[in-house]
């Protein structure tokens, strides 16, 4: 598994852009490794900081993502972002197409979010959220927490939302699926590092 993950990181290196995101400070030694990676690249007094370390990691990962014309760049750890071309989809329409069986308790929140002025034309925010939930779940695991199990459930839900996005993007002839597919496959592999995670979702 370590070899496979290292190989995927090597293959995705070309998808990352710019210089490595620098380390700005040294977080407390008691922080779990995944959070240390995120927190160290944000100011110590960042608005993402939270007493709940799971929330800190989730929001911090959002803070390290970036949008630019035609692309969304998702923070994937180790100072790297993955640059993914934005498919010409309306985010609300992606959420509206999600099967009812996959509409869990967080679905109404993201359906409303999809109507936001920024989210409306930025469907890759779904991947931004999926990655943030993945990171939060990894931090929960590293902390050895039994509480906050909903974090893992929401990660599974977001994988299904990402699958709907991927399915709809594939139907656009002029859209190059390469980076979207590679990212989804990679982050799904990251999800399987989380104890108790399982899903029928696959990306091909």
- Give the pLDDT confidence of 46-86 residue by residue, as tens digits: 999 999 999 999 999 999 999 999 999 999 999 999 999 99
Residue-wise pLDDT for 138-151, tens only, equals 999 999 999 999 99
Query: Could you give the CA distance from residue 74 to residue 167 in angstroms, rounded to a whole number?
Result: 19
Confidence label for 1 from pLDDT (cuts 50, 70 and 90) = very low
Question: What is the signed CA dihedral for 79, 5, 70, 176, rounded to 10 degrees?
Answer: 160
Identify the CA nearest to 72 among candidates 176, 160, 180, 171.
Answer: 180
């Amino acid at each position: 598994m370590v070899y496979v993950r290292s190989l995927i990181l090597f293959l995705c290196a070309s998808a990352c852009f710019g210089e490595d995101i620098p380390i700005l400070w040294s977080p407390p030694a008691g922080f779990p490794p995944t959070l240390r990676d995120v927190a160290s690249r944000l100011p110590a007094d960042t608005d993402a900081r939270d007493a709940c370390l799971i929330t800190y990691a989730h929001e911090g990962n959002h803070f390290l993502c970036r949008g630019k014309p035609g692309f969304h760049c998702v923070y994937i750890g180790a100072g790297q972002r993955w640059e993914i071309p934005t498919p010409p989809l309306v985010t609300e329409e992606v959420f509206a197409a999600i099967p009812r069986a996959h509409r869990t308790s967080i679905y109404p929140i993201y359906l409303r979010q999809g109507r936001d002025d920024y989210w409306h034309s930025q469907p890759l925010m779904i991947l931004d959220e999926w990655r943030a939930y993945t990171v939060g779940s990894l931090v929960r695991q590293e902390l050895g927490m039994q509480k906050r199990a909903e974090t893992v459930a929401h990660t599974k839900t977001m994988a299904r939302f990402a699958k709907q996005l991927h399915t709809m993007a594939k139907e656009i002839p002029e859209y190059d699926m390469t980076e979207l597919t590679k990212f989804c496959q990679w982050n799904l592999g990251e999800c399987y590092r989380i104890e108790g995670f399982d899903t029928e979702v696959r990306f091909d």
